[in-house]
Homo-oligomer: A and B are copies of this chain.
């Protein structure tokens, strides 16, 4: 089974998610700068999610680039990932409209955790399908970055009830961690295998 259909469909869904998210920015009634006030936290929430979804698009495309074939279960593992990403617009709006209150921050982190977990499952299934000596298996290695992300999400979810801004800071940290291409780690991993 070719991977082309999976790539095109995933790219389409991710492009739609990143774009319809903006529909959650409700247009205020008044025309003064102050009327934009309630929109600001939703906008900040939107920026964070935009970067997240951008990172997912980026990495998803990279991962599938290193892949030659897919099968039925992989199609569903991919739809599982898209499902959690599809909830991002909802939790983004809920978190923003409640100005980063405890529970919305925790739920936002939970959806991000599930998306990260779904991505992890997908990557493991792709490796299992291509073998431990495949380019993908070598590129991902032990996937410290993926595992660290999941741990940071869990820490953020727990912290959100007492220190919601610290929790948010951890989510931002995950985004930065993926945003900056960490060549040092990649090289280290490459050498450890050489």
Contact = CB atoms under 8 A, between A and B. Distances in A.
Interface stretch (A20-28, A117-125, A132-140, A144-152): A20-28
A36 interface: yes
A72 interface: yes
A18 interface: yes
Contact count band on A = 35 or more
Contacts of A19: 13, 16-17, 20, 86
A25 B8 CA distance: 26
**Main secondary structure on chain A at its contact with chain B?**
helix
A8 B15 CA distance: 10
A113 interface: no
Contacts of A97: 27, 29
B89 A28 contact: no
Contacts of A25: 87, 90
| This chain's copy number in the assembly | 4
A58 B75 contact: yes
A135 to B, nearest CB: 15
Contact of A16 (B5, B15, B181): B15
A93 interface: yes
Interface in A91-117: 93-94, 97-98, 101-104, 107
A13 B15 contact: yes
Interface of A: 5, 8-9, 11-25, 27-33, 36, 47, 50, 54, 57-58, 61, 72, 75-76, 79, 82-83, 86-87, 89-90, 93-94, 97-98, 101-104, 107, 179, 181
Given A16-B19, A31-B103, 4 more contacts: A8-B11, A19-B86, A22-B87, A27-B90
- Listed from nearest, the 7 A-B pairs whose CB atoms lie closest are A31-B98, A31-B101, A12-B15, A16-B19, A27-B93, A54-B79, A25-B90
